[in-house]
Structure 1
Amino acid sequence: MYYLFVFTLIAAASAEVIYNGPCPDVQPKENFDFSAYQGTWYEMVRYPHAGEEGVKGKCTLIEYYVYGNNNGRVKKTHIVDGVQTYVEGDLSLSRPGTMMTTLTFGGVSKNAFITVLDTDYSNYAIAYNCKYFPDGDKHQVRSWIMSRTTRLDENSRALVNNYLNESIILDSNKYIGNDYSPAACQASVVKSLTDLQNQYY
C-alpha cells in the first residue's frame, strides 16, 4: 500500500498536473452536506499549481462560510517566505457535492468548481478540480487532501489512503506536502490577492 503522508518530496512533483483529453466524470460525496462542510480546513497535501506558487505555499488553510440558500463565502490563506497572502470570494453549491467559488482579481471574476470526493466532515476531506482546454484537448487536475487540524489522525489517514488506492482519477504520487511548523507559519507581512489579476486559485 502506498502511504500518502510519508513520502519524500521530489523536484518532479512541482509541475502542474495535465493529461490528454477532456475531464473525466467523477463521483462526489454521496448526500453531501454543504452546511456540515463549512468551517476551517487545513491543507495536508495538494497537487501543485500556480495559485500556491508551485511547492512554495505553506500553512495553507481554507475557510468556508455557509449563509443559507446554498450560498456563502470562502477565504484561502497561505504563507510564502514570511508573507501571508489571502484571497476571498463568493461560494455556492452548484450541484450536489460540487461547490463553485467566485474570486475577483483586478475587477475580473473567475469561477472554479470544487468537487468534494469524500469527507467525514469532522476530520478529513478529499477535493478535486478539473479544467478542460479544448484547443489543445487537454485537462488540468487539481486536488487537495484536507484536515480539520494541522495533523491528520491515523484513522483518517487510513481512510484517505484506501480511497486513493481505489481511485482511477487521482494519482497519489502527484501530491506535495504542506508545512505547519512554527518557522514556516511565521509571517511579518499580510497582503490580499483580490486586487491582483494574474493569480488563480
Structure 2
Amino acid sequence: MGPRFLAWLAVYFVLTCWYSVTLKRLALLDCMTLACLYTLRIVAGGAAAGLALSHWLLAVSGFVFLSLSFLKRHTELRPLVQRGEAAAAHGRGYTAHDASLVQMLGIAAGYASAVVLALYLHGDTAKVLYAQPYAILVTLGVLVYWISWMWLQSHRGEMHDDPVVFAVKDKVSLACGAAFAASLVAATVEWPW
C-alpha cells in the first residue's frame, strides 16, 4: 500500500466517522456525504492500483451514487407516506413530506450522470481510448433505463432493501449491468470493416 492510498483511506475514515456522528442526521448533506464516500472508494482503489482516474469517471459515478443515496432515503420515507405519517424519519433529517422532493433530487442526479456520460462520449477522449467509440452509446441508454427502473421500483413500493442490495438481486438490473459491460467490450474490439 502506497502513501496515496493510505492518505485516501485516512480521508475516508474521517469522513465516515463524521457521517456517523453528525452528517447522517442532516437532510441533503447525508446523501451528498454518502455519494462522496462511495466515490472515495473508487479514488482509493485507483490509488492502490496506481491508476490515474478520469474526472469523467468520478463525475458519472458521483452522480450515480448521489442518485442511489437519495433512492435509499426515498425507500425509507415511502412507508411513512403510505401510513399517512407526518413525523420525521427516525434518526434522519427528513419528514414524510420530503419524499417527493427526495425523489425529484434523486432522479435529477441519476439523469445528470447520463448527461456527463453523454458529454464524455461526445469528446475526444472516448475516440482515442476506444476502437469503436460509438458502441459505447448503448451504455447511455442502459444507464438512463436503469436509473428510471430503480426509481420506478421505489415509487411503486417494490424496493424494500438498500438500492445496491436490490440491484444485485434484481434481474432487470443484472441485465442492464450485462448490457453495459457488453457495450464497453464491443467498443474495445477492432472490427474488420
- TM-score by length of structure 1 reads 0.24
Greater Rg over alpha carbons, structure: 2
- TM-score by length of structure 2 reads 0.24
Which has the larger share of helix? 2
